[in-house]
Amino acid sequence: MTLIHPDPFAHDPAAIRLWQTNPVEAFRRWIVDERDNPLTRRLTDRSLRQYCSMLSMHATWVLEERRKEAHLATPPDIAAFLGNLKDQAEANAATATTRRRYVRLLDVFYERMRLAGARTENPMTPLLPLAENLAPERTPPEFLAEHQVAQFVAWCAAEWAQEGAASAAWRYHRDLALRVILLATGISVSELRRLTLADIAAAAPSSWAGPSTADPWRNCGTDAVAQVHCRTAPATSDQLLLRIAASSKTEERSLSIPPWAAGVLLNWIEQALAWRGRLATEPGPAPLFPSREVRQHVDRPAFGRAIAPDDIFRVVQRAFKGAGLATSQQGPQTLRNTFLARHLAVGAAEADLLLWAGLRTPASLERLRPHVPVATTLALAAEPA
């Protein structure tokens, strides 16, 4: 059982009533009021929202499927809930890792409810061995196939074409560039958030696909975004380079932007520079992908801070859902995996991929490699560029 500090206000009638009528809110208030508790000291607001969402799903299931409030749930009720958990797409059973997280969270939830006096026992006590018995699962990494890349790119381009002239058009330019750069370069979310407007430069052309002569994006419908209008396109003899600053995990590196993605990025940079020129922003490097703010009823980029990880996920997820791609992982990692898979499919050298993706070891590539279709690999690698 998880150790929880006793509550000096335990068995307070108002607190008991809240735990029985709105247990998720009671849990949230306890977390907020107990910031000095070792259990909650390092809990971020994002984690708290996620935990409350998980508990809300549990309470709703118990009410709908067992016709009882959470404070009356029994071990069999909770075991049935854990057994019925699904993934985000509601298509498959939840992974062992997800179920283990629920076991641990529900133990804290019901133990806190017991200490508050809302019930006499913790129904999770007989279920705790579940957490030990649920061995971690290594689910196959998800990435988009050629036709799915085409769907994704087509939806992104269509949204930009439809909304680009709206009053808040800057967000559609930013979101299109963000999705395309994640797909075209395979950078991580942390690397994307560190990018500044100064990290884009023109350079003499070089081979993007390394030792492979095949185009990794052939048959992926990338022409849908290749013609995005911009007035700052480089000379045709140049190409765009994206500089990734060094971090504690990776060294500084430069990535070539595939030609089909260059116009999208330049279009956004043009928009961003225009906005920065109109706004009284702080001097110094500005994030390439700023967050959003509304001032005096004006929706505008906030160059003082980079877009938050949650917002990046929502931007990517909206495109997945809009394109009808019902994968269980509708986030940036799937786009990063797609970048790696497309290059594995055309025979890119492992050393090049490790460098491009900023990977220290080939573990991620080894997980992907068995799932990249062999027939596709052979067919594409044999075709000329």
Assign 291 to helix, strand or coil.
strand
Query: What confidence score (pLDDT) does residue 5 get?
Result: 47
Stronger pLDDT, 261 or 87, i.e. the higher one = 261
**Where does a domain end: 75, 108, 133?**
133
Stronger pLDDT, 228 or 116, i.e. the higher one = 116
Query: Do residues 116 and 187 share a domain?
Result: no
Query: Do residues 228 and 275 share a domain?
Result: yes
Residue 210: pLDDT band with limits 50, 70, 90:
very low
Segment among 85-94, 226-235, 272-281 with least mean pLDDT: 226-235
Q: Is residue 2 part of a domain?
A: no
Query: What confidence score (pLDDT) does residue 40 get?
Result: 58
Domain housing 119:
13-133
Percent above pLDDT 70 for the chain: 78
- In DSSP notation, 218-268 reads TTTTTHHHHT---S-PPPTT-EEEEEE---SSS--EEEEPPHHHHHHHHHH
Residue 225: pLDDT band with limits 50, 70, 90:
confident
Q: Is residue 6 part of a domain?
A: no
Query: What confidence score (pLDDT) does residue 71 get?
Result: 93
Segment among 195-204, 235-244, 311-320, 325-334 with least mean pLDDT: 235-244
Query: Do residues 209 and 123 share a domain?
Result: no
Contacts of 19 (CB under 8 A, 6+ apart): 26, 71, 113, 116, 118
Query: What confidence score (pLDDT) does residue 280 get?
Result: 64
Stronger pLDDT, 199 or 140, i.e. the higher one = 199
* Average pLDDT for 138-167: 83
**Where does a domain end: 133, 161, 177?**
133
CATH number reported for the structural domain that contains residue 17 in this entry: 1.10.150
The candidate with the shortest Cα–Cα distance to 171, out of 300, 319, 261, is: 300
Q: How many domains does the chain have?
A: 2
Query: Do residues 91 and 224 share a domain?
Result: no
Query: What confidence score (pLDDT) does residue 375 get?
Result: 37
Query: Do residues 225 and 285 share a domain?
Result: yes
Query: Do residues 93 and 23 share a domain?
Result: yes
Q: Is residue 222 part of a domain?
A: yes
Q: How far is CA 377 from CA 147, 221, 342, 369, 383, in A?
A: 15, 18, 9, 10, 10
Query: Do residues 99 and 180 share a domain?
Result: no
Q: What is the pLDDT of residues 73-132, one digit of tens each?
A: 999 999 999 888 876 655 567 777 788 889 989 999 999 999 999 999 999 999 888 766
Query: Do residues 195 and 320 share a domain?
Result: yes
* Average pLDDT for 44-54: 84
Q: Is residue 219 part of a domain?
A: yes
Residue 204: pLDDT band with limits 50, 70, 90:
low
Query: What confidence score (pLDDT) does residue 378 get?
Result: 35
Percent above pLDDT 90 for the chain: 37
Q: What is the pLDDT of residues 58-73, one digit of tens each?
A: 999 999 999 999 999 9
Stronger pLDDT, 99 or 3, i.e. the higher one = 99
CATH number reported for the structural domain that contains residue 309 in this entry: 1.10.443.10
Return mean pLDDT, the chain: 80
Stronger pLDDT, 37 or 329, i.e. the higher one = 329
Query: Do residues 162 and 124 share a domain?
Result: no
* Average pLDDT for 367-375: 78
Q: What is the pLDDT of residues 283-307, one digit of tens each?
A: 678 999 999 988 777 888 999 899 9
Q: Is residue 301 part of a domain?
A: yes
Q: Is residue 1 part of a domain?
A: no
Q: Is residue 140 part of a domain?
A: no
**Where does a domain end: 84, 102, 133?**
133
Query: What confidence score (pLDDT) does residue 373 get?
Result: 77
Query: Do residues 205 and 79 share a domain?
Result: no
**Integer Cα distance of 183 and 265 in angstroms:** 12
Query: What confidence score (pLDDT) does residue 191 get?
Result: 94
Query: What confidence score (pLDDT) does residue 19 get?
Result: 93
Query: Do residues 184 and 256 share a domain?
Result: yes
Q: How far is CA 163 from CA 22, 130, 252, 276, 322, in A?
A: 40, 49, 36, 21, 14
Q: Give, as one character, the DSSP assignment of residue 196.
A: B
Stronger pLDDT, 95 or 179, i.e. the higher one = 179
CA 113 to chain centre: 32
Query: Do residues 48 and 153 share a domain?
Result: no
pTM confidence score = 0.65
Query: What confidence score (pLDDT) does residue 384 get?
Result: 34
Residue 2: pLDDT band with limits 50, 70, 90:
very low
Q: Is residue 194 part of a domain?
A: yes
Angle at 52 between CA 48 and CA 57, to 5 degrees: 150
